[in-house]
Amino acid sequence: MIKGPEIRHDLISGNWVIISPKRGKRPNDFKKNKKKLPCPFEGEISGHNVIIFYDNPKNWRVAVLENKYPAVVHGDGPIVKEKSRTYETLKGFGHHELVVTRSHKNNFPKLSPKDAIEVFEVFRERLRTLKKEKDVSYISIFHNWGAAAGASILHPHYQILAVPIVPRLVGTSLENSERYFKKTGRCMHCRAIDRELREKKRIVFRNKSAIVVAPYVSREPFQLRVYPLKHWPYLEETPESELKDVALALRIALIKLEKKIKKSDYNFFIHSAPVKNAKSFKHYHWHVEILPKLNISAGFELGTGIEINPVDPDDAARILRQ
C-alpha cells in the first residue's frame, strides 16, 4: 500500500495517472445520504487550512484553501523519478488548492460581473505564486459543476492543481501549436479566431477583448471555447482589462448554456502554457474550455479516442446566440 500519492507514467500509452487513495475519502453531496451533510464552506470554513481571504476573514467574498483531500501533496524532498522497463513513478508532490466563493447557490454564471472578475484575479495571483515553487511544471485550473461533471460538493468552488509534470494531453497540444507556428509563422489559435470572425457562424458572444466560439472541431455537444482576442500564452501575464473581458465572456457563455440546456452540468478548465521554460511557449494562446456533460462516451470513443458529436457546432452556436 502506498504511503502518499504517486504520479505514474505508462510508457505504452504515454498517459500520466495520479494514484491518490486519500481522494476517495472526500464527502459527496450527491450521494443518497439519510442525513443531510453540513456544507464545509459555510460560515467560518471550519476544518480547512485557509491560505488567504478576500477581503477579510469575517466578511470574505473569496477564500483560497488547502484541499483537505488533495490529489497531490506539498513535499520538501527532491522529485525523484523511479524507472522500470514498463513504468515511471514520481512522488505525488505538488499543490492542490480550492478557490471558494461565499454564496452557497451562486455558481459562476450567477456571480455578479464584479465577483466573476475577482475569481479570475485570484486565479492570476495563485498562478504567479505557485509558478515559483520548485516542484511545479504545470498548473491546472478547473471547475466541476453538477454530479455528472464530477462535483462532490454543492457549494461552488474552483480547483487549482499544480503538478511536477506536463500532462500528455497538454504536451500534445503544445507540440501541435509549436509545429504549426514553425510551419506558418502564426499561432494556430489566432488563425482559428480570424476564421471565426470572418465566417461568423460559430461565434456565441464577443466583447472588446474576448470571444466565445463553438469550435469547428467540437468533441462534445455545445462545447465552447473562450479566447482572449490578443495573443497571450499565459493567463498570469494577460493585461488587467483583457483578463476582465475573458472572465465576463465566460460568465455570459455559461448563462447562455444554462438557459438553453436543461441538463447544465459542465466542466470548465483553463489551458495556459506550462510555468517552466517560459520562453519556449510563446507560440501558445491561453483559453478556457467549456464541456457540458451531455454525451456518454461508449466503446468506440473509449477504445479509439475519437468522439462522436451529434450536434453540429454551427447549430450549437446559433441556438446559444438566440
Closest CA to 45 of 95, 94, 98, 96: 98
Pairwise pLDDT comparison (272 vs 44), residue with the higher score: 272
Q: Is pLDDT at 259 greater than 60 in this prediction?
A: yes
Strand-pair partners of 292: 266
pLDDT(85) > 80: no
Question: CB–CB of 39/52 below 8 Å?
Answer: no
Length of the chain: 322
Beta-carbon count within 10 A of 256 CB: 20
Residue in this structure with the C-alpha cell 477564500, named with its chain if needed: 63
189 exposed, middle or buried (CB, 10 Å; 0-12, 13-18, 19+)?
buried
Distance CA 175, CA 223 (A): 23
Residues 81 and 90: beta-carbon distance below 8 Å: yes
| Residue 156: strand, helix, or coil | coil
pLDDT for the residue numbered 11: 74
CA gap 246, 210 in Å, rounded: 5
What is the structure's pLDDT at 144? 95
Least confident range of 118-127, 146-155, 234-243: 146-155
pLDDT at 35: 61
Q: Is the separation of the CB atoms in 320 and 222 below 8 Å?
A: yes
**Residue entry with cell 505525488:** 92
Mean pLDDT of 16-39: 71
**According to the 3-state scheme, what is the secondary structure of 67-95?**
CCCCCCECCCCCCCEEECCCEEEEECECE
